[in-house]
């Protein structure tokens, strides 16, 4: 992906319930490859069953976290990711790959997405080592059970978690 010859638009989709430092790391790495990044909260996620934050709350946190970078736009979308990518004329979908355990789920989604619309490529990026075990679901669980998640999320997310959990 050359960013000199064309305006490369990447979509980083996910549940972001809530956005973690691992997500932020993947987003920053994406901006080494793409000119613009759409961080897109899915209203329908394949895995998330009981969200802690509403889509509007997750979007507000993403906007706060990425407010310093004008190359990043945070949006939500409903329906199929590939339909959204087609409408926005995106060049690629970004997904973070932490460990082998992520691979099967990610591979299935990437292949299905290619069947749905083959004009966009899925690109997998690996996070910095300290975030290689981090997931939003673990952050939620640890926070709900009273553990300290301050090294895994931005201060804005930490405040939102404290407020949500009545602490």
Question: In the complex, what is the shortest distance from the CB of residue 67 to ligand PNS, in angstroms, rounded to a whole number?
Answer: 21
Q: 90 with 10: CB under 8 angstroms?
A: yes
| Nearer CB in complex with ligand PNS: 63/86 | 86
Choice from 19, 42, 72, 94 touching ligand PNS (CB under 6 A):
42
**CA dist list (Å): 67 to 32, 60, 140, 158, 162:** 18, 10, 23, 17, 21
Under the criterion CB under 6 A, does residue 46 sit at the interface with ligand PNS?
Answer: yes
Q: Identify the CA nearest to 167 among candidates 152, 145, 138.
A: 145
Residues within window 61-100 making contact with ligand PNS, judged by CB under 6 A:
80-81
Count of residues engaged in binding ligand PNS, rule: CB under 6 A = 14
Stretch that binds ligand PNS, among 24-32, 55-63, 106-114, 149-157 (CB under 6 A): 106-114
CA–CA distance, 130 with 151 (Å, rounded to integer): 10
| Nearer CB in complex with ligand PNS: 49/167 | 49
Residues that bind ligand PNS (CB under 6 A): 13-15, 42, 44-48, 80-81, 109, 112-113
């Amino acid at each position: 992906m050359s960013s000199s010859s064309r305006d490369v638009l990447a979509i980083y989709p996910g549940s972001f319930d809530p956005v973690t430092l691992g997500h932020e790391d993947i987003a920053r790495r994406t901006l080494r490859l793409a000119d613009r990044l759409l961080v897109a909260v899915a209203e329908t996620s394949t895995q998330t069953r009981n969200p802690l934050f509403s889509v509007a709350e997750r979007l507000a946190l993403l906007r706060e976290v990425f407010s310093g970078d004008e190359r990043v736009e945070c949006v939500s979308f409903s329906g199929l990711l590939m339909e959204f990518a087609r409408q926005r004329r995106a060049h690629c979908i970004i997904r973070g790959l932490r460990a082998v355990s992520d691979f099967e789920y990610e591979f299935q989604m990437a292949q299905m997405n290619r069947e749905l619309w083959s004009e966009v490529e899925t690109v997998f990026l690996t996070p910095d080592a300290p975030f290689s075990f981090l997931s939003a679901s673990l952050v939620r669980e640890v926070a709900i059970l009273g553990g300290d998640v301050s090294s895994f999320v931005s201060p804005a997310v930490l405040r939102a978690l404290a407020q949500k959990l009545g602490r």
